[in-house]
């Protein structure tokens, strides 16, 4: 997210006539500059919801991640969140009284109620991921995640913590506008009503409607700003705390991390990596540097290589340390910094790849399945395909229109 | 940058937002046409609406800035500012926004914990019978081994219960606070349930005792494979009474 979407607003005209109106003294210039700045800020805040694709990616990502987590812990659900947990309902409630937490899970000690809550959590995560009635679902998802987190607070790690924070922040955002069932419904409705012009409304409801839209936009932009700031704080503080540690400075930190038995799902692999002392030292230094630098590279093109390096780092953590949930949460959080035109470009890339694959398959003779189908398997891809082929005016102008030319120039 | 007016309506008519309105949850309210409102009152209503809107926007912005600032102070190492405003920061951040990103920092653990448990119960003749030591940590280690997606019950349950116990108790096993008592109960439950689950035969556990080895991770360069590392420390906890839970 961030500054890269701004060029889509009609700025060239404004920029052109700026040099003409200077010359009324330094004070005047300063005042105008200040007003300009304030105006730009106001437009940024209220103009339009920024990074709608990134918000949707976060929704899909965290909904999916939580669903997978719940399913993975299915055999252990009672031990983690249920009445049979060693952290008994009584202990949990005692802690809630001390900390101010709360959870829907401690409302009843019955096993049946717990199973109901578990199913509710599964359904909520799935629907949130799909973007069905997104605003209501996002609130429910936040309640579910907070409840399950609070119930098992002594079993959580950094990944759970991040998922909780993001679930809370996503309630503020309009994360169901892209790649969602809501978006699909809106598109179908627009197609149905498309030809009949909207009736001219009277002033007051119109004003009310506009006010509501502005408010939704402001909340979304504030929420996304908080998410971005949160991720920056995460990396910044993780890096700064590491700087204080002698093993990170000495380049041996990863040796110790690789030898923790609970974070060693593939001991032979861990030991193999551990043998490359130089590699370990370089990777350790890179980790600290990337984390400390993260907040500062976001406003330039340098963020792409940094995000790519972080992605590989997280994949490494997921595999080597056996922390896929944690790494997944981090990777999804990083996705907030990719601009809309990047996401709008993805379906195009996907289609091109699918077409190439289809062609190759056709050249190789009739394959077992039909070659051109895969592009429709993913809801995202099929959705945007629909959009571009129809040429609906709304987001093609912002997203796909930009994607074709600007993406290339920025690369 | 860009020159823009202050009018609320300036950017709203963009096509993007119009599309959003429709996709936003809830049905679109059809505007009333035949509502006869006096022009003066309508003007007043519009003005109130705008004032309300500006106020809410201002509240949103202020809340955002305050939140980001307080979370920053919460996350950052203790400094004069965060010390001074500690009550305000805690009031805002806890419990929902609590966070800690000391991920393997300042240093990763250079030790592995090995937690063992033994139990005691009176046998049929009325004398106390003490079981041999059972390795609780080995259960976790073998569950994590060759598992691409280890469960929280193996990676976090016992590990975090023990670190939390250590935090609240320090080196002394007499619980000095309410939280310490709670964590002792938690640890005892974990141990008793794990022992019971891995023991064939029955017999209710009456007492349980834990022993914790702190095993060092060998410094890099030292030859691995010369036997298990010597524990840096051993901690023998007192016998705890196990209260059976109604199932």
Q: Which domain covers residue A61, as residue numbers?
A: 52-185
pLDDT in tens, A306-323: 999 999 999 999 999 999
- Nearest-by-Cβ selection for A208 from B37, B49, B245: B49
Average pLDDT estimate for A344-367 = 79
Most confident of A106-120, A287-301, A376-390: A106-120
Is-contact A317 A326, C-beta < 8 A? yes
| A265 shares its domain with A301 | yes
- End-of-domain residue from the set A185, A205, A229: A185
Question: What is the pLDDT, as a whole number, of residue B26?
Answer: 41
Question: What is the pLDDT, as a whole number, of residue B148?
Answer: 96
In-domain check, residue A219: no
Question: What is the pLDDT, as a whole number, of residue A200?
Answer: 58
Q: Rg of the Cα trace of chain B?
A: 30
Task: Give which of B220, B229, B246 to mutate to test A binding, by max A Cβ within 10 Å.
Answer: B220
Q: Rg of the Cα trace of chain A?
A: 25
Task: Give which of B1, B39, B89 to mutate to test A binding, by max A Cβ within 10 Å.
Answer: B1
Average pLDDT estimate for A234-254 = 94
- Nearest-by-Cβ selection for B101 from A98, A207, A237: A237
**Residue B5 binned pLDDT confidence (cut-offs 50, 70, 90):** very low
> If phi over 0 gives left and psi between -120 and 50 gives alpha, with beta otherwise, what is residue A391?
left
Distance CA B168, CA A332 (A): 34
pLDDT in tens, A48-68: 999 999 999 999 999 999 999
Closest residue of chain A to B6, computed from CA coordinates = A39
Question: What is the pLDDT, as a whole number, of residue A359?
Answer: 77
| A243 shares its domain with A296 | yes
Q: Which residues contact A213 (CB under 8 A, 6 or more apart)?
A: B12, B17, B20, B21
Task: Give A210's strand partners.
Answer: none
Question: What is the pLDDT, as a whole number, of residue B31?
Answer: 45
Average pLDDT estimate for B110-128 = 90
pLDDT in tens, B19-63: 434 444 444 444 444 455 577 888 888 889 999 999 999 999 999
- Tell me the CA distances in angstroms from A241 to A244, A318, A331, B77, B102, one per residue in order: 5, 21, 21, 8, 6
Average pLDDT estimate for B153-162 = 96
Task: Measure B126 CA to nearest chain A CA, in Å.
Answer: 29
CA–chain centroid gap for A227, Å, is: 9
| A262 shares its domain with A158 | no
| A387 shares its domain with A315 | no
| A289 shares its domain with A180 | no
Distance CA B166, CA B111 (A): 15
Question: What is the pLDDT, as a whole number, of residue B105?
Answer: 87
Of A110-124, A211-225, A227-241, B116-130, where does mean pLDDT reach its minimum? B116-130
Closest residue of chain A to B68, computed from CA coordinates = A226
Average pLDDT estimate for B3-13 = 37
Q: Where are the beta strands (DSSP E) in A133-269?
A: none
Are the Cβ atoms of A186 and B137 closer than 8 angstroms?
Answer: no
In the A/B pair of chains, how many CB contacts fall below 8 A? 320
Average pLDDT estimate for A72-88 = 96
Backbone angles phi, psi at B213, to 5 degrees: -100, 140
Mean pLDDT across chain A, nearest whole number? 84
| A68 shares its domain with A89 | yes
Pairing of strands B233-236, B128-130: unpaired
User: Residue B212 is inside which H or E element, if any?
Assistant: strand B207-216
Are the Cβ atoms of A211 and B144 closer than 8 angstroms?
Answer: no
Residue A358 burial (C-beta neighbours within 10 Å; 0-12, 13-18, 19+): middle
Residues 124-183 of B with CB under 8 A from A: 137, 140-141, 144-157, 159-161, 164, 178-179, 182-183
Task: Measure B129 CA to nearest chain A CA, in Å.
Answer: 25
**Residue A384 binned pLDDT confidence (cut-offs 50, 70, 90):** very low
Does position B127 have pLDDT exceeding 80, yes or no?
yes
Residue B93 burial (C-beta neighbours within 10 Å; 0-12, 13-18, 19+): middle
Interface predicted TM-score (ipTM) of this complex, two decimals: 0.83
pLDDT in tens, A23-51: 568 889 999 999 999 999 899 999 899 99
In-domain check, residue A200: no
Average pLDDT estimate for B208-221 = 93
Question: What is the pLDDT, as a whole number, of residue B40?
Answer: 82
Residue A241 burial (C-beta neighbours within 10 Å; 0-12, 13-18, 19+): buried
Which is nearest to A329 in space by CA: A136, A82, A116, A64?
Answer: A64
Task: Residue count of chain B, please give it.
Answer: 247
Does position B113 have pLDDT exceeding 60, yes or no?
yes
In-domain check, residue A22: no
Distance CA B75, CA B79 (A): 11
Query: Hey, is the C-beta of B226 within 8 angstroms of any chain A C-beta?
Result: no
Buried/exposed code over A88-124 (b: 16+ C-beta within 10 A; e: otherwise) = bbebbebbbeeeebbbbbbeeeeeeebeebbeebbeb
Is-contact A70 A121, C-beta < 8 A? yes
**Residue B226 binned pLDDT confidence (cut-offs 50, 70, 90):** low
Question: What is the pLDDT, as a whole number, of residue A385?
Answer: 38
pLDDT in tens, A261-309: 999 999 999 999 999 999 999 999 999 999 999 999 998 889 999 999 9
Task: Measure B167 CA to nearest chain A CA, in Å.
Answer: 13
In-domain check, residue A214: no
Domain boundaries, chain B: 37-101, 111-220+228-241
Are the Cβ atoms of B75 and A233 closer than 8 angstroms?
Answer: yes
Task: Give which of B5, B20, B62, B157 to mutate to test A binding, by max A Cβ within 10 Å.
Answer: B20
Question: What is the pLDDT, as a whole number, of residue B35?
Answer: 52
Distance CA A154, CA A150 (A): 9
In-domain check, residue A37: no
| A406 shares its domain with A322 | no
In-domain check, residue A42: no
| A180 shares its domain with A73 | yes
- Nearest-by-Cβ selection for B106 from A150, A158, A244: A244
Closest residue of chain B to A36, computed from CA coordinates = B3
Question: What is the pLDDT, as a whole number, of residue B200?
Answer: 72
Number of domains in chain A: 3
Distance CA B75, CA A230 (A): 10
Question: What is the pLDDT, as a whole number, of residue B36?
Answer: 57
Torsion, Cα of B15, B16, B17, B22 (10° steps) = 90
- Tell me the CA distances in angstroms from A355 to A351, A374, A375, A377, A405, one per residue in order: 6, 10, 9, 14, 21
- Nearest-by-Cβ selection for B107 from A164, A207, A253: A253
Is-contact A98 B178, C-beta < 8 A? yes
**Residue A198 binned pLDDT confidence (cut-offs 50, 70, 90):** low
User: Residue B119 is inside which H or E element, if any?
Assistant: strand B111-122
Instruction: State what percent of residues in chain A have pLDDT above 90.
Output: 70
In-domain check, residue A217: no
More confident residue, A18 or A154: A154
| A301 shares its domain with A345 | no
Does position A381 have pLDDT exceeding 60, yes or no?
no
Does position A377 have pLDDT exceeding 60, yes or no?
no
**Residue A332 binned pLDDT confidence (cut-offs 50, 70, 90):** very high
Q: What pTM did the predictor assign?
A: 0.82
Is-contact A325 A314, C-beta < 8 A? no
In-domain check, residue A116: yes
- End-of-domain residue from the set A319, A337, A355: A337
Question: What is the pLDDT, as a whole number, of residue B2?
Answer: 40
């Amino acid at each position: 997210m961030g500054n890269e979407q701004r060029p889509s607003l009609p700025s060239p005209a404004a920029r052109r006539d700026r040099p003409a109106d200077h010359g009324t003294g330094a004070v005047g210039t300063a005042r105008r500059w200040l007003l300009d700045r304030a105006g730009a800020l106001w437009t940024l805040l209220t103009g339009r919801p920024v990074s709608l694709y990134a918000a949707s990616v976060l929704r899909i990502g965290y909904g999916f991640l939580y669903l997978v987590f719940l399913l993975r812990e299915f055999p252990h659900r009672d031990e983690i969140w249920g009445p049979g947990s060693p952290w008994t309902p009584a202990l949990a409630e005692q802690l809630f009284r001390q900390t101010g937490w709360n959870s829907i899970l401690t409302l009843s000690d019955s096993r049946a109620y717990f199973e109901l809550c578990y199913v509710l959590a599964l359904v909520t995560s799935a629907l949130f991921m799909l973007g069905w009635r997104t605003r209501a679902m996002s609130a429910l998802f936040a309640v579910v995640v907070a409840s399950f987190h609070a119930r098992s607070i002594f079993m959580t790690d950094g990944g759970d913590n991040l998922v909780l924070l993001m679930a809370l922040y996503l309630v503020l955002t309009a994360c169901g506008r892209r790649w969602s069932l809501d978006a699909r419904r809106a598109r179908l409705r627009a197609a149905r009503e498309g030809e009949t012009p909207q009736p001219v409304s009277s002033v007051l409801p119109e004003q009310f409607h506009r006010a509501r839209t502005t408010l939704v936009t402001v909340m979304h932009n504030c929420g996304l700003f908080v998410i971005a700031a949160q991720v920056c704080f995460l990396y910044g503080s993780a890096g700064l705390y590491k700087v204080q540690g002698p093993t990170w400075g000495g380049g041996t930190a990863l040796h110790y991390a690789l030898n923790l038995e609970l974070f060693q799902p593939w001991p032979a692999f861990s030991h193999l990596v551990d043998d490359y002392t130089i590699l370990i030292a370089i990777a350790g230094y890179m980790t600290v540097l990337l984390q400390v630098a993260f907040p500062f590279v976001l406003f330039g093109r340098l963020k792409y290589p940094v995000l790519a390096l972080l992605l590989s780092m997280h994949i490494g953590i997921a595999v080597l340390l056996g922390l896929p949930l944690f790494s997944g949460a981090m990777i999804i959080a990083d996705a907030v910094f990719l601009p809309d035109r990047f996401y709008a470009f993805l379906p195009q890339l996907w289609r091109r790849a699918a077409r190439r694959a289809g062609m190759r398959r056709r050249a190789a003779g009739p394959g077992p399945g039909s070659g051109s189908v895969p592009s429709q398997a993913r809801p995202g891809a099929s959705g945007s395909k629909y959009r571009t082929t129809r040429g609906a005016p709304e987001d093609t102008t912002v997203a796909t229109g930009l994607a074709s030319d600007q993406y290339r120039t920025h690369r | 940058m860009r020159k823009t007016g202050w009018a609320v309506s300036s950017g709203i008519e963009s096509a993007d937002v119009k599309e959003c309105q429709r996709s936003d949850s809830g049905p679109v309210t059809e505007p009333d046409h035949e509502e006869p409102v006096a022009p003066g009152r309508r003007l007043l209503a519009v003005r109130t609406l705008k004032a309300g809107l500006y106020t809410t926007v201002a509240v949103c912005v202020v809340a955002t800035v305050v939140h980001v600032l307080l979370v920053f102070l919460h996350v950052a190492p203790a400094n004069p500012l965060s010390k001074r405003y500690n009550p305000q920061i805690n009031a805002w951040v806890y419990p929902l926004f609590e966070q800690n990103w000391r991920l393997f920092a300042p240093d990763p653990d250079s030790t592995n914990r090995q937690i063992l448990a033994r139990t005691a119960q009176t046998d049929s003749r009325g004398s106390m019978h003490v079981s041999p030591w059972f390795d609780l940590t080995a259960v976790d280690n073998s569950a994590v081994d060759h598992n691409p997606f280890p469960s929280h019950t193996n990676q976090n349950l016992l590990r975090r219960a023990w670190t939390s116990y250590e935090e609240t108790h320090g080196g002394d096993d007499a619980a000095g606070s309410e939280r310490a008592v709670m964590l002792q109960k938690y640890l005892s439950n974990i141990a008793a349930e794990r022992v019971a689950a891995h023991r064939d035969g029955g017999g209710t556990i009456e007492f349980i005792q834990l022993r914790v080895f702190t095993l060092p991770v060998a410094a890099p360069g030292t030859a691995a494979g010369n036997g298990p590392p010597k524990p840096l420390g051993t901690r023998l906890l007192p016998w705890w009474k196990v209260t059976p839970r109604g199932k």
